[in-house]
């Protein structure tokens, strides 16, 4: 079944280049009308210009699609609200949000300034929160919405020198978990995408012979699935170089130890048993942790 976005309206943040640009072009090529958002700043978030977004809009229009540009910073909630209003005034609805805007301020934690930690959280996490918050009433009223949050393997698994980025990216998975539950009754499906791709933020990390294989266009199929009418919800898809995986936060079967005076010593002695991944499960909600602990206590 071909993925068709005709009649749909999408907002893609950070869409002036790299992954965001490919996302916007792909959605437009499949019929979506696209608001292309990009502050036009440097990799570290400094500066700003609407030129990058306007170039992508021109490319979409040249191919016969519909698009408008927006230069709002996702860190500014009022500007994000105005961005959503721009899409509503232009097309009357918004069906898809691809929250892609981000910056890097990499340093080892010992050398990192707290201001750089906060700024990365502000762009990646609060930027996504601002977009979701501004769009939530629109999608609730429509009883339809598809939200794709951009997480990262750094958030899922860690990476040296990226404590700020990793903290922000795993926080987005937590945001997804709850928004997906709260949006379910109104067919608002919320998912995460963890890309491995060569962009201006990451190109120095790849050996020269891998640059082509890890082009951002190879991530786009995962985004299209997560943004589509047929999308799952509460799913984290990983994508890069034509490979696709799913990441999950799991819960082991665990062990009952009790709360006696020697519980710390018993836990230490049985830690391998507690961490044993045989039979682990993906909880449907946070309540399942408590339910599992109750099961252990009743044995």
The catalytic residue positions are 165
Q: DSSP code of 281?
A: B
Q: DSSP code of 92?
A: S
Q: Which of 191, 215, 195 is nearest to 203 (CA)?
A: 215
Cβ atoms of 118 and 165 closer than 8 Å: no
- In whole angstroms, what separates CA 80 from the centre of its chain? 17
Report residue 147: phi and psi, to 5°.
Answer: -120, 125
Residue 256: other Cβ atoms inside 10 A: 11
Paired residues of 68 in beta bridges = 35
Paired residues of 251 in beta bridges = 281
Residue 44 tokens read as 């570290």
Residue 284: other Cβ atoms inside 10 A: 10
Cβ atoms of 101 and 14 closer than 8 Å: yes
Q: Which of 223, 219, 227 is nearest to 195 (CA)?
A: 219
CA pair distance 2, 11, nearest whole angstrom: 21
Length of the chain: 299
CA pair distance 286, 93, nearest whole angstrom: 32
Q: Which of 221, 67, 69, 229 is nearest to 142 (CA)?
A: 229
């Amino acid at each position: 079944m071909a993925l068709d976005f005709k009649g749909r309206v999408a907002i893609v943040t950070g869409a002036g280049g790299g992954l965001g640009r490919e996302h916007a072009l792909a959605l437009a090529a499949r019929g979506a009308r696209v608001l292309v958002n990009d502050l036009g700043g440097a990799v570290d978030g400094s500066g700003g210009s609407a030129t990058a977004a306007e170039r992508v809009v021109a490319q979409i229009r040249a191919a016969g699609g519909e698009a408008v540009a927006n230069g709002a910073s996702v860190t500014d909630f009022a500007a994000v609200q105005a961005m959503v209003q721009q899409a509503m005034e232009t097309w009357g609805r918004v069906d898809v949000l691809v929250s892609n805007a981000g910056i890097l301020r990499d340093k080892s934690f010992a050398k990192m300034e707290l201001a750089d930690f906060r700024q990365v959280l502000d762009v990646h996490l609060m930027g996504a929160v601002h977009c979701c918050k501004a769009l939530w009433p629109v999608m609730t009223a429509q009883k339809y919405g598809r939200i794709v949050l951009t997480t990262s393997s750094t958030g899922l698994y860690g990476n040296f020198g990226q404590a700020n980025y990793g903290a922000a990216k795993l926080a987005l998975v937590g945001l997804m978990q709850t928004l997906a539950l709260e949006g379910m009754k109104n067919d608002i499906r919320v998912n995460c995408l963890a890309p491995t791709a060569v962009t201006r933020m990451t190109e120095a990390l790849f050996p020269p012979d891998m640059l082509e294989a890890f082009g951002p266009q190879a991530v786009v199929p995962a985004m299209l699935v997560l943004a589509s009418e047929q999308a799952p919800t509460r799913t984290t898809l990983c994508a890069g170089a034509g490979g696709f995986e799913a990441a999950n936060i799991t819960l082991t079967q665990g062990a009952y130890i009790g709360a006696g005076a020697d519980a710390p010593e018993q836990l230490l002695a049985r830690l391998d048993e507690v961490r044993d991944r045989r039979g682990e499960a993906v909880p449907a909600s946070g309540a399942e942790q408590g339910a599992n602990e109750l099961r252990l206590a009743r044995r």
